Structure 1
Amino acid sequence: MIKYMDKRTFKDHMLQALKEIAISRNVKLEDNCKFTVVPVIEHGKSLNSTDEYLHRGMFNEKKLSGREFDLEAVVNMLACRLPLCPLWINVALKEIREDMTVIELQISLRFRNPSLLQNQDTGHPPFKSII
Structure 2
Amino acid sequence: MRHFYRMMTVIILTCIMLCGCSKENPPDKIADADFTVITGSDIPEELQSLINERKKNPFSLTFTDQSYLYVVRGYGKQSCGGYKITVNDFCKREDGLYFDTELFGPKSDNPDERSSYPYIVIKTEYVDLPVSFSK
Given the two structures, how large is their TM-score scaled by the length of structure 2? 0.28
Higher relative contact order (CA 8 A, sep 6+): 1
CA radius of gyration, larger in: 2
Given the two structures, how large is their TM-score scaled by the length of structure 1? 0.29
